[in-house]
Amino acid sequence: MIQDIKTATHCYHCGENCEDSIITIKDKQFCCRGCKTVYEIINKNNLCSYYDLESNPGINQKQIIREGKFDFLDDEKIIDKLVHFKDDTQQHVIFYLPQMHCSSCIWILEHLDKINSGIIKSQVNFIKKEVTLIFHYPQTSLKKAAESLALIGYEPHISLNDTGGNKIKKTDTKRIIKLGIAGFCFGNIMMLSFPDYFSFGKTEDPELKQWFSYLNLVLSLPVFFYSASEFFISGYKGLRQKFLNIDTPIALAVLITFTRSVYEILSQTGAGYLDSMSGIVFFMLIGRYFQNRTYQSISFDRDFKSYFPLGVVKINENNRETQISVADLKQGDRIKIYNDEIIPADSILFLGKAMIDYSFVTGESLPVEKTIGEIVYAGGKQTSGAIELEVVKKISQSYLTQLWNNDIFKESKERSNTPFIHQVSRYFSYVLFSIAGITGIFWSINNPSKIGNAVTSILIVACPCALLLSSTFTNGNMIRILNKYKLYVKNASVIENMADIDTIIFDKTGTITEQTKSGICFKGQDLSDEQTQLIRSLANQSNHPLSKSIASFLPFSKSLNVKFYNEFKGYGTSAVINTHFVKMGSAGFVTDKNNFSANPGSKIYASIDNEFIGCFIIKNSYRKDLQKIVSALGSQYKLKILSGDNPSEEPYLKTVFGNATEMLFDQKPENKLNFIRSLQNNGSKVLMIGDGLNDAGALKQSNVGIAISDNTNNFSPACDAILSGTNFTILRELIQYCCKQKQIIYSSFALSILYNVAGLYFAVQGNLKPVIAAILMPVSSLSIVLLTTGLSSLYELKLKHKN
């Protein structure tokens, strides 16, 4: 009965089950004092509407933020690097808040002024999970602003990378301005051209018509010289490298259309084709804008600095603790690292018990215990209380920095990839110039006066903009749909490269396993309720990750009195609990048996009153439907496993992937990178799927690198795409969807050829009228947009079915 009540009780603030204790305020229950404190702050400031917008919207507060954690934000050098604007009265700063997840978060964050009166304004960018704070500098400080956020459960994530100069530009304002100018001018030029379109050669007021032409010319100038500039620059760069990219013929078409239009207007021999020219530029810019939108909200090029903290506690000679910037650490400095904090530099353990989680750096799934005097490498996370370290290498010389100095991180992955759209455009250009040349020769023999008109008309009407539109709108819509299914690709070339892969390599820890879960089973005699609570009480005393897993696995009913607790390093633990002597640990420590089961995984043996009762087998929890995913992918691709973890679970993985699958364990980051490079040298096209810093080099070296993340806004290594762990089950369908890209582009290109043929029919005769060009251009563009959108949405149906 007690257990039923406990299971049904959820924390009013965060919604998690209240297990070991329930703290009550009136009719509201809380799982810990942290959640209770946050509720009291929110209630005191009359902000309880926070709980009305979403049910249990808060963040669990069991892990208390230590006092003085943000002291480094009082350092003027750090303030100057973090603050975006400051004067004598105000400071502006942007904080990244990975906890942000719902409308209640937005509401509470935009009412921070009620909690800290020094904050003038707080504005949330939900997509980027950022909050912009404007605060009175004399009244509050950067440190107090950060503490105000942490106080209500939104501790800002401040990393070493936040102080660097090489930040990704989140919003391409320049392109938006270009797009706005092109759209404004295109609409007005079309409107001013209507009288000419429908006059059928009869003009009531020729002078007014000419003034309209002059206005069109003025409106076209910013389009030609500013909005279209990127096409001219790209085309010029391609020619300098002796490469004909798709922007070259587009730039030529824009140039000829503009030049001929200027000549006709100034010589009063025609109205020109300025509407077509501005329309080409406008539609091209729209396509490119939508194609590049993903990059605004997700960072694909993060390095190890995004993983490191900005501040660290330094212990001075008089044992006084001060917060300093991690960048200022020097060899010989004594530092203090608290529970769940990252070690920022290679160091030697000086004081305390170190249990270091290297899973994100090496792939090793279990924390490693370190003794005093042993070296602890940068990037590991301390998981067992506070420790003191002595720095032996500054950040610039640490193991992680050396990894990032590999030449592969200095190269662009696009270095060896030529998008197929550029290759198609090259042949398109050859055909177009051939038609123009043949037409020129024909009219030079039959009617030389028509040469200029016919040749320029061909280049105007057969502009490869339809081909570029096919590409940009297909890619833009596919990127949008992939985002919908939580595969966030860096750019369109990733989709194209995905279609060419023939080999898929998986990391193990955090990629095909779930980092936050572990599979536990018990082999032995049936446990009574009393025995269960005895073992759980002993496991609950230890900070070892395996003990914590067992404590979480066993149900809680009541707390027991634990006496004479002992922990024997490398062997196990023992205690007297309710007069019973309980032991847990290795086989040799608990029983004389050397092994209990052939099952893979870590084994923890248990005895009560020196009677052996069984063994807990703790295995990695593999992602849902892994067997089905591997089976489906194995029929199309070569599969391999590259893991930094030990080979203890290789027998199980052989049953999933098959005995023929190559599996390499205990792999260092450079081993992974070199293995992929050797496959590529033998002609393989490699897709690497990983999750940690140890996979960064492999992800960068591969033809396509996908980082698996259970929170796409938390740290993930440099990669081409980020896939949410929740959608790992539809990996095969996502890859197949990317393979449809070329089919869609070829289909829309075939449609555009029909319009080109119609336009060329008039152009080769030298009879292309502005009204014909004005009709063909938007109709062709609209048809292509509808076709690419329709086909990409049609192919999405399979994703919907699987999801």
Q: What is the pLDDT of residue 154?
A: 84
Q: What is the pLDDT of residue 457?
A: 72
**Position 682 pLDDT exceeds 90:** yes
Angle at 404 between CA 401 and CA 408, to 5 degrees: 160
pLDDT 10s digits, 726-758: 888 889 999 999 888 888 888 887 877 777 777
For residues 664 and 323, the model is more confident at 664
pLDDT 10s digits, 152-178: 888 888 776 666 544 444 556 788 899
Q: What is the pLDDT of residue 776?
A: 66
Q: What is the pLDDT of residue 686?
A: 94
- Of 505-519, 676-690, 788-802, highest mean pLDDT: 676-690
CATH among 3.40.1110.10, 2.120.10.80, 3.30.559.10, 3.30.360.10 for 516-620:
3.40.1110.10
Mean pLDDT, all residues of the chain: 78
**Position 506 pLDDT exceeds 70:** yes
Angle at 322 between CA 315 and CA 166, to 5 degrees: 110
**Number of helices and strands (H, E) in the chain?**
26, 28
Tokens of 482: 């992939």
Average pLDDT over residues 665-689: 89
Average pLDDT over residues 630-650: 87
306-405 has which CATH code? 2.70.150.10
* Residue 278, C-beta contacts closer than 8 angstroms, at least 6 positions apart: 182, 185, 186, 189, 219, 220, 223
| Cβ-based burial of 269 (10 A; exposed 0-12, middle 13-18, buried ≥19) | exposed
pLDDT 10s digits, 409-426: 445 555 445 566 666 767
Q: What is the pLDDT of residue 225?
A: 93
pLDDT 10s digits, 584-633: 988 888 876 654 444 445 788 999 998 889 888 877 778 888 889 999 89
Distance CA(679)–CA(687), nearest Å, equals: 11
Taking a C-beta distance cutoff of 8 angstroms, is the pair 506, 689 a contact? yes
Average pLDDT over residues 491-509: 87
Tokens of 612: 């052996």
pLDDT band at 219 (very low <50, low <70, confident <90, very high): very high
Q: What is the pLDDT of residue 168?
A: 44
Checking 44-47 for CB contacts under 8 A at 24+ apart, the result is: 45/114, 45/115, 46/114, 47/108, 47/111, 47/114, 47/115
pLDDT band at 503 (very low <50, low <70, confident <90, very high): very high
Tokens of 517: 């879960």
Average pLDDT over residues 71-75: 82
pLDDT band at 199 (very low <50, low <70, confident <90, very high): low
pLDDT 10s digits, 120-156: 888 888 767 788 898 988 888 888 888 888 888 888 8
Q: What is the pLDDT of residue 184?
A: 93
pLDDT band at 676 (very low <50, low <70, confident <90, very high): very high
CATH number 3.90.209.20 is the correct assignment for the domain at 485-514+623-738: no
| pLDDT-above-90 percentage for the chain | 8
Architecture of the structural domain at 71-164: 2-Layer Sandwich (3.30)
**Position 774 pLDDT exceeds 90:** no
pTM across the whole model: 0.65
Q: What is the pLDDT of residue 123?
A: 86
- Bridge-based pairing of strands 704-709 and 686-690 is parallel
pLDDT 10s digits, 455-467: 777 776 666 666 6
| pLDDT-above-70 percentage for the chain | 79
Q: What is the pLDDT of residue 688?
A: 93
**Position 773 pLDDT exceeds 80:** no
Average pLDDT over residues 427-444: 80
Average pLDDT over residues 420-446: 77
pLDDT band at 6 (very low <50, low <70, confident <90, very high): very low
